[in-house]
């Protein structure tokens, strides 16, 4: 019995050591595969950066120019003269802010009501919202365009953001979040004499912060990158967000790749920077929307 333990111990240690060594070798292989993948993910961006500081001749040279003769930073300022780029960026930012603010307010209000209040007809209305969730957004597009047209809001900022400040998905997401919060908190607030709105505003909303952050992140990503709706309502370049601006004006500057690349980089950089700064929130928000939404 005791001799068996004595012989087993070194054997076990040996096995553990071997496994550790195998793990380390395995890690190396994994690192190689993951690095190749990561390189594939960012290689187009590196190329984009390179092209954005080259001359047109260098960008289209065969073989490729890996080191530009002079770094042509003027490509970046050329973007602003080639298209109303500054105005487009402002439009994108304002559109995104308005949609995010709108959805945070309206979706959290409705989400709270669906999750925490009881009133006649709520199931019918919630069912209607869910059915909106199932329908592809193209089905709304023609009438939405007509409404914006009739309100005389084509080529305007409100036209860009108005339909996007309401969301069935956001309402559903917030409802799921409010459902998770402990019921006792709400009952305690009731006993203290708080009304339904005070309970929402003073008690539950502060607790729902992670949910609000998740919703905000999803709306920001969607709005910043949205293309179809802006193309439909704002056809005048100075009223376009930058997504539509790049997409429609590329035709005119089709061959001027360095300037286009500089513009593309500037247009996508803000979101990439926000992502890197708030990475944890992005990852959690997206995972949350998938598991709860």
Partner 1 sequence: MAVLAEKVRSAERPGKSRRRRSARKRLEARWGWLLIAPSVIGLGVFSIWPIFRTLYYSFTLWGAFGGHTWNGLTNYRTLFSDSEVLHALRNTLIFALLSMLSVPIGIVVSALLNRPGLRGLGVYRTFYFIPVITLPAAVALMWKFVYNGDYGPVNQFLKLFGVHGPHWTSDPSTALYAVAIVAIWSSVGYNMVLFLAGMQTIPRHLYEAAEIDGAGKIRQFFTITLPMLSPTIFFVTVIGVINALQAFDLIYVMIGKNNPALNDSETIVYLFYDKAFVQSNGGYAAAIAFLLLGIIIVFTGCQFWLQKKWVHYE
Interactions with partner 1, residue window 123-182 (CB under 8 A):
125, 128-129, 132, 135-147, 162-163, 165-168, 171
Q: Is the peptide bond prior to 63 cis by the omega test (within 30 degrees of 0)?
A: yes
- Cβ(64)–Cβ(230) below 8 Å: no
* Residues 9-38 interacting with partner 1 (rule: CB under 8 A): 23, 26-27, 30-31, 33-34, 37-38
Segment lying near partner 1 (by CB under 8 A), choices 68-76, 122-130, 153-161, 177-185: 122-130
Binding status of residue 189 toward partner 1 by CB under 8 A: no
Which candidate, 258, 254, 228, places its Cα nearest to that of 241?
A: 228
Number of residues that bind partner 1 (CB under 8 A): 98
Segment lying near partner 1 (by CB under 8 A), choices 78-86, 107-115, 179-187, 206-214: 107-115
Segment lying near partner 1 (by CB under 8 A), choices 67-75, 93-101, 181-189, 254-262: 254-262
Segment lying near partner 1 (by CB under 8 A), choices 67-75, 180-188, 193-201, 207-215: 193-201
- Torsional sign, CA 236, 242, 248, 250: positive
Angle 284-225-132 from CA coordinates, rounded to 5° = 75
Identity of the residue, 70 or 125, whose beta carbon is nearer to partner 1 in the bound complex: 125
The string of DSSP letters for 162-216 reads: GGGG--HHHHHHHHHHHHHS-HHHHHHHHHTT--HHHIIIIIIHHHTHHHHHHHH
Helix-, strand-, coil-residue percentages of the chain, each rounded to 5: 80, 0, 20
**Alpha-carbon distance 2 to 57, whole Å?**
81
Which candidate, 214, 207, 199, 157, places its Cα nearest to that of 178?
A: 207
In the complex, the smallest distance separating the C-beta of residue 5 from partner 1, rounded to whole angstroms, is 18
Binding status of residue 224 toward partner 1 by CB under 8 A: yes
Binding status of residue 204 toward partner 1 by CB under 8 A: no
Instruction: Extract the tokens encoding 151.
Output: 């309100």
Binding status of residue 48 toward partner 1 by CB under 8 A: yes
In the complex, the smallest distance separating the C-beta of residue 2 from partner 1, rounded to whole angstroms, is 23
Binding status of residue 277 toward partner 1 by CB under 8 A: no
**CA-CA-CA-CA torsion for 115, 119, 124, 130, nearest 10 degrees?**
-20
Identity of the residue, 70 or 143, whose beta carbon is nearer to partner 1 in the bound complex: 143
Which candidate, 144, 143, 176, 178, places its Cα nearest to that of 160?
A: 144
* Residues 80-99 interacting with partner 1 (rule: CB under 8 A): none
Identity of the residue, 2 or 221, whose beta carbon is nearer to partner 1 in the bound complex: 221
Binding status of residue 118 toward partner 1 by CB under 8 A: yes
């Amino acid at each position: 019995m005791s001799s068996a333990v004595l012989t087993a111990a070194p054997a076990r240690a040996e096995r553990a050591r071997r496994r550790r060594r195998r793990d380390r070798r395995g890690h190396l292989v994994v690192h190689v595969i993951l690095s190749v993948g990561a390189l594939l993910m960012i290689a187009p961006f590196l190329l984009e950066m390179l092209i954005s500081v080259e001359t047109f001749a260098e960008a289209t040279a065969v073989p490729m120019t890996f080191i530009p003769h002079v770094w042509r930073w003027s490509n970046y300022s050329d973007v602003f003269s080639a298209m109303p780029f500054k105005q487009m960026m402002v439009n994108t930012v304002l559109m995104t802010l308005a949609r995010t603010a709108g959805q945070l307010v309206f979706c959290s209000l409705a989400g709270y009501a669906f999750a925490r209040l009881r009133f006649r007809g709520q199931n019918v209305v919630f069912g209607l919202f869910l059915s909106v969730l199932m329908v592809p957004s193209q089905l709304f597009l023609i009438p939405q365009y007509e409404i914006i047209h009739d309100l005389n809001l084509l080529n305007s900022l409100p036209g860009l953001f108005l339909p996007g400040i309401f969301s069935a998905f956001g309402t559903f997401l917030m409802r799921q979040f409010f459902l998770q919060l402990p019921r006792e908190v709400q009952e305690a607030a009731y006993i203290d004499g708080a009304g339904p709105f005070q309970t929402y505003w003073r008690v539950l909303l502060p607790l729902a912060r992670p949910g609000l952050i998740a919703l905000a992140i999803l709306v920001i990503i969607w709005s910043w990158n949205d293309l179809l709706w802006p193309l439909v309502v704002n056809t005048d370049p100075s009223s376009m967000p930058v997504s539509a601006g790049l997409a429609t004006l590329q035709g005119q500057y089709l061959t001027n790749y360095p300037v286009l690349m500089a513009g593309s980089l500037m247009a996508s950089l803000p979101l990439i920077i926000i992502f890197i700064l708030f990475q944890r929130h992005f990852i959690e928000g997206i995972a949350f929307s998938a598991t709860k939404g």
